Structure 1
Amino acid sequence: MDFSQTLRATRQRRHLSQLDLALRAGTTQRHLSFMESGRSRPGRSMVVRLGESMELPLRERNDLLLAAGYAPVYPQTPIDDPSMEHVRTALSHILTGHLPYPAVVVDARHEVVLANDALSLLTDGVADHLLRPPVNVLRLSLHPEGLAPRIVNLAQWAQHILDRIPRDELYAELTGYVPHVPPGPDHVGFAVPIQLRSPRGELRLTTTITTFATALDVTVAELKLEAFLPADAATAALLAG
């Protein structure tokens, strides 16, 4: 798609009217209409403002710039680059501080970047091929040789995962691992604790997701820190032990 089509499709996907976006971007509805019809070519700063106003992920802002004929603004630096040492150090401190509870940092592909030592409690008994880098945490969760045989509420946990990801190749793979079970009357969407059999006993864990809200690098902006927390006192005692 060219810029005009990309802009219109993106605005509609964000459920914004032309007037809403124009007000946010500091322009007029008429000017925005001209951009969406291809009658007006925006400057680079306007494209940046449009991306910010629609609160697009940095990768999509770069794509919008490319569609308009401009170079990307936001860098995408490999996480193992020396310039990212401060990011890795900060994440390592957070992961260590979360002990004795498991925590993992994943990238946009759901592949493990960093993890703390407590993650081994969750991966006990998992097939070696699932633990060879790059480790995909969603595949690890639902694969028959992964955590799946130890997840007590597998159908609910699987639906929780599948609800969070796009309908892509990974989604198709994961749906093949678990039976489709329509959400029941007790289904509460994202608020699904995982019930996991472990060498220490059955664990009930909830999760929290942390991101870099003010990142200016695509790689950093796409990192997610998923931290597991005990959902009851018994689980807290087992993990503390």
Structure 2
Amino acid sequence: MSADLFSLKGKIALITGATNGIGKGMAIGLAEANIDQIIVVHRPKTDPKATVELLVKSSPRPDDIVVSTIECDLSIDTLKIEEIEEKIVQKAINLSRSNKIDILINNAGISHRSGFLDYPDHKFDNVFFVNFRVPAKLTQLVGKHMIDNKVRGKIIFTASLTTYLGSYENSVYSSTKSALKGFILSISNEWASSGINVNGIAPGWIKTNMTDVLYNNSVENKKRLDRIPAGRWGDPIDDFKGPIVFLSSDASNYVSGEIIVVDGGYLGF
């Protein structure tokens, strides 16, 4: 088997939420797999300069890879669904060195922990908007671009353990990730015949900013660690390079409607 099967040379990727955590790990994986260009969508308050420099250094062709950025707040207060085409998709196509997008990675997500009896309506709407409505619209627009331009495309979502399990005092986040599962299955069936693979990655307990409150609590940490057969929390960088490169490359051309669980065995325990 040739390593070229996993090469992303000649490909252009658009990714949301890649300046930290799992998204950063995914973007590094793309760069290390020799991708031509990564277009990073980031929040206005986030300076992407360090991420850009890191991705360039991670590439086997640091003088050739292009890392572009698009500033956009994905929250319901600042973004209208009808603005996504102009503010993100068309900008990405214009930035693309080949005027196309080969890979879309819907990674950005938010959470608000609260018992449901006291869950604020605005938080409910915003979590659903960022975690489901925005990636669904991005998928619709980029999918149309891929089909219209006969691009052999890859669309990947970041799901969660809560795609499969309930989540205590995190019901709305869990619901958005469960919704993604149905969406992935349905859209993968619609678009497989057009040469577009739609799949997902479900992280387990990974040490990120979103899980710091649990990781740093010795009791909560031990609860989770005791159920992880691998005996450790996941690493947001090293544990996600392989899965994202697989799903972005020709190695996964016959994989459709799947969600790869990256959890150290947690679900199977």
TM-score range, shorter chain: under 0.3
The TM-score, its normalising length taken from structure 1, stands at 0.26
Bigger relative contact order, structure 1 or 2 (CA pairs below 8 A, ≥6 apart): 2
Please say which structure displays the higher CA radius of gyration. Answer: 1
**TM-score normalised to structure 2 length:** 0.24
